[in-house]
Structures are given as structure tokens and as C-alpha cells.
Amino acid sequence: MLITNHVLAGATLGLLAPTCPAAVAVPAVAVAGVASHFLMDSIPHWGVADADEALAIAVVDGLVGLGVSALVLKSSPPDARLRVAAGIFGACLPDTDQPYRLFFGRGFHPRWLDRFHSRIQTEHAWLPQEFLVATALATGFAVAARRLS
Ligand SMILES: [Zn+2]
């Protein structure tokens, strides 16, 4: 699953989370974000490509994901921004070792977590599904943000 889609899912979770003290909301939304990551990765998604193509797409996706993170944080109501950031953090956390793995040859997550993360993947070669999911998630975020503003 593209990281941009995880960003959008985590941001929406943070946006829709109940308003409560940050000491409760931030860790709760981060944990929900991690859960959303594994749920989304367990749904069949694009992921089959040769190494050069996959790397090029991953780099573009990472940069788009950063830009989308800034955009959703900027467009969130100020009182929701910390929860939105926590949702993004949690939703992206399981994939944080992928750039590290690229540069250093190994990840830093525990092996049991890598095995679980790898085992739940069902990948196919139809990339447009990722864009459809991104469009649906971005629309959901925009609707929720408009209602809360
Ligand atoms: Zn993942």
C-alpha cells in the first residue's frame, strides 16, 4: 500500500477522533493509526513491480506523502492538528524501516513484526487501485474537515 494512502487514513482517524485531553487522544489515535496500517496492508493492494520501478514509485510516493501530510495538517482545524499528526505518525510507523532498509540493508523493527507485516501482504500488479483508494480517502478527509470547520 502506498504511504500516501496510510497518511490519508491516519489523518482522517485523527480528524474524526473524539475531542479529549491530548494525553489520552494522541496515544489512542497513534495506536489506531498503526492498526489502520495493518488493516490496509491486509487488503489486496498494488505491490508487484521490479526493483527499479518499485524504488522510483516509492520515492515519488514518499515525497507525495510528505506533501499530503503538510496539506492535511494545514487544512485541519487547529484543535485537531495534534490528533491528525498522531494519526499520520501511527499509520506510517510500520513502514518507517523501509528507507532505512534501502540505505543500510536491514530494518530496525523486531523480526516478529517484519514477519507479521510481510505475511499479511497480498499484492497484485494493478497500480490504479492505489489512486482510487487515495481519491476516496482524500475525499473522506476533505468532507470531514469541512464539517468540522
Ligand atoms: Zn506496510
DSSP string for 43-110: S-EE----HHHHHHHHHHHHHHHHHHHHHHHHHS-GGGHHHHHHHHHHHHGGGTHHHHHHHHSS--S-
pLDDT at position 66 is: 97
Q: Is the pLDDT of residue 49 over 80?
A: no
Centre of ligand 1 to C-alpha 147, Å, is 30
CA distances from 73 to 67, 78, 98, 126 (A): 10, 9, 24, 30
Q: What is the pLDDT of residues 111-139, one digit of tens each?
A: 999 999 999 999 999 999 999 999 999 99
pTM for the model? 0.94
Centre of ligand 1 to C-alpha 37, Å, is 6
Centre of ligand 1 to C-alpha 32, Å, is 14
Give the position of cell 530496525.
Answer: 108
Return the C-alpha cell found at 39. 488493516
Residues 6+ apart with CB under 8 A from 25: 17, 18, 19, 82, 83, 86
pLDDT at position 57 is: 92
Q: Is the pLDDT of residue 50 over 90?
A: no
Centre of ligand 1 to C-alpha 81, Å, is 24
SS3 123: strand
Percent of the chain with pLDDT over 90: 83
Amino acid at 42: S
